[in-house]
Amino acid sequence: MANQMMDIVKGSLQVLLDDVDFLPELAGERREKAFSSLLSILSTPDHVNKSFLRVALENGQVTRVPAFRVQHNNVLGPYKGGIRFHETVKEEEVVNLASLMTLKNALHEVPFGGGKGGVVINPREYSDKDLYVICKKYVQYFSDILGPDKDIPAPDVGTGEREMDWMMGEYKSIRPGESYRGSFTGKSVENGGSLGRREATGKGVYYTFRYLLHDFVKRQEHWLSERDSMFAKTVLSLKDKSLKIAIQGFGNVGSVVALSAYQCNHLNNKVVAVSDRNVTLYNSDGLDIPALIKFVSMNKGDLPMTGDQLETAGVKAKILGIGEVLTLDVDVLFLAALENQVYQENMIDIKAKIMVEGANAPVTTVADGYLSDKGIIIIPDILANAGGVIVSYLEWLQGRETQFYTEDEVFEKQLSKMKNTFDSVFPPFFSDSFTLRQQCYIHSVMKLSNILYRQGKLY
């Protein structure tokens, strides 16, 4: 497990160890030993599966492709997590992401464990036929450990509904007569996928911020004003302001966050900046997000990069460098691109009062500590970007029931699950001295520890 995650899990276990009301039946030396066992279990994966897929490419060459399926922990249910196709995939990274899935599912009461897959390829360098063969091979090599009640993959960076459709098709061929609909999630709607899955993560990311700033603050304004918490002061200072928002990343997550913010009438929002791999676009009066989404959909996912392209898009904006999105004078910064974007060198230039992690781990440990000490609220990945796995769970459920929900029903169920989590972590966050990330981990580790103890895993 990565150092940051490991440290927070360790810290969470210490908090629970000191809390005499938590598992009071464990006392004295037995309690010490049980908590040390919990650390050992939660900090290591159950299985690291690695294969070198033998792939016959369209060009006649046979190649070996390294592939992983890491199963971190299944105490809460079948392993669950995406499969990433990227040239930088490494075993340690897949293990970290699998661990995060265990913690994320526990936090949001999704009855799944944590898993993750990875294939070390740059998908842009392969033909569609080659990618199809790689998907089939992945399922062939790992078919014994996958399945609707064992381990359920989903898309991640470099994969999407097309790959999940292919993989489920192969799984079905390998296991004729067995249940298959829940073997993969993130499939196309025509092939048993859920309505609303594509937008689920972005909508959830925006909703997390909106719930905190609008619903929670409005309901708890008086209570918050009596807290001796710099984070309470931060949210109260933004309460009735017209908020300026910047968003890093304009892909699946970032563009949905941008549109949700643009359309949100509850808060007086203005999306003043968005960015992608090439450019930051800035307009202090607010950007025309629907026009940018239309442009991106017709230009291979890229935002306008030149004056001419902005004119074609019908968008007024200044063109800035890609890193500038992070340090603009805004109230809220959504991070929806990559990991490690806010770090020691740029953290002092951050001006946002609230940062929301749509991507996994976009803020390094050092930056997290520095910014939190200044009262900046960082809404962590584990809390904010769980919409995808929650709707994956709903897809799995719909596949089992062979009953499908409308898009509104999916969204309502997703938000209701996330709302339950917010209501359990926001009050202690504003009462204790922990950051929101630490508070989320304490909740998650508490659930996992409780179940591990009750299932007799600590003997």
164 counts as binding ligand NAD under rule CB under 6 A: no
Biggest alpha carbon distance in the chain?
71
Residue in 385, 421, 435, 438 binding ligand NAD, rule: CB under 6 A: 385
CB of 72 to ligand NAD, least distance (A): 16
User: Is residue 1 within 8 Å of 96, Cβ to Cβ?
Assistant: yes
* Cβ closest to ligand NAD, residue 17 vs residue 287: 287
Give the separation between CA 99 and CA 102, rounded to whole angstroms. Answer: 5
To ligand NAD, the closest distance from the beta carbon of 339 in angstroms equals: 6
Which stretch of DSSP H or E encloses residue 357? strand 354-357
Q: Is residue 117 within the footprint of ligand NAD (CB under 6 A)?
A: no
The long-range contacts involving 289-295, CB below 8 angstroms and separated by at least 24 positions, are 289/255, 289/258, 289/259, 289/261, 289/262, 290/259, 290/262, 291/315, 292/250, 292/255, 292/258, 293/255, 293/258, 293/259
Q: Please name the helix (run of DSSP H) or strand (run of DSSP E) that holds residue 8, with its range, or none.
A: helix 3-18
Asked if residue 248 binds ligand NAD (CB under 6 A), the reply is: yes
Minimum distance, C-beta of residue 83 to ligand NAD, in the bound complex (Å): 12
Who contacts 164 (Cβ-Cβ below 8 Å, separation ≥6)? Answer: 153, 154, 155, 184, 185, 186, 187, 188, 193
- Asked if residue 81 lies in contact with residue 101, where contact means CB atoms within 8 angstroms, the answer is yes
The least distance separating ligand NAD from the CB of residue 228, rounded to whole angstroms, comes to 34
Report residue 430 CA to chain centroid gap: 23
Segment holding 328, helix H or strand E: none
Near ligand NAD by CB under 6 A: residue from 11, 66, 147, 251: 251
The answer to whether residue 250 forms part of the interface with ligand NAD (CB under 6 A) is yes
Per CB under 6 A, contacts with ligand NAD among 219-238 are none
* Strand-pair partners of 64: 54
Give the three-state DSSP class for 243: strand
What is the spatial distance between Cα 184 and Cα 127, in angstroms, rounded to a whole number?
A: 23
Q: Does 338 bind ligand NAD (CB under 6 A)?
A: yes
Nearest distance, CB of residue 393 and ligand NAD, angstroms: 13
Is 294 annotated in the active site?
Answer: no
Interaction pattern, residues 38-77, with ligand NAD; x per rule: CB under 6 A = ----------------------------------------
CA distance linking residue 66 with residue 330, whole number of Å:
43
> Of all residues in this chain, which one has the CB nearest to ligand NAD in the complex?
251
Tell the smallest beta-carbon distance from residue 251 to ligand NAD (Å).
2
Q: Which of residues 175-214 bind ligand NAD (CB under 6 A)?
A: 201
Structure tokens at 33: 């030993």
* Token reading at 4: 């940051």
Build a one-symbol-per-residue string for 274-293: x at contacts with ligand NAD by CB under 6 A, - elsewhere. Answer: -xxx----------------
Nearer to ligand NAD, 271 or 337 (CB): 337
Nearer to ligand NAD, 337 or 436 (CB): 337
In Å, how far from its chain's centre is CA 299?
Answer: 26
Burial category of 184 from C-beta neighbours within 10 Å (exposed 0-12, middle 13-18, buried 19 and up):
buried
Give dist(CA 55, CA 61) in Å, integer.
8
Closest CA to 405 of 154, 110, 192, 184: 192
What backbone torsions phi and psi does residue 239 show, to the nearest 5 degrees?
-50, -55
Distance of closest approach, residue 62 Cβ to ligand NAD, in angstroms: 30
Number of residues in the chain: 459
- Least Å distance, CB 276 to ligand NAD, is 3
Near ligand NAD in 306-325, by CB under 6 A: 322
- Given 359, 363, 418, 436, the residue binding ligand NAD (CB under 6 A): 359
Among 17, 75, 313, 337, binds ligand NAD (CB under 6 A): 337
Residue of 104, 116, 270, 353 marked active site: 116
Q: Name the residue nearer to ligand NAD (CB basis): 147 or 251.
A: 251
Q: Tell me the closest approach of the beta carbon of residue 398 to ligand NAD, in angstroms.
A: 18
Count residues binding ligand NAD (CB under 6 A). Answer: 21
Place of tokens 């563009």: 255
Of the pair 275, 414, the CB lying nearest ligand NAD is at 275
Nearer to ligand NAD, 252 or 414 (CB): 252
Position among 113, 148, 358, 399 found at the interface with ligand NAD (CB under 6 A) = 358
Stretch that binds ligand NAD, among 42-50, 177-185, 242-250, 421-429 (CB under 6 A): 242-250
What φ, ψ does residue 257 adopt, rounded to 5°? -60, -45
Q: Which of 235, 253, 259, 292 binds ligand NAD (CB under 6 A)?
A: 253
Which positions lie near ligand NAD, rule CB under 6 A?
157, 201, 248-254, 275-277, 322, 336-338, 358-360, 385, 388
Residues acting as catalytic residues: 116
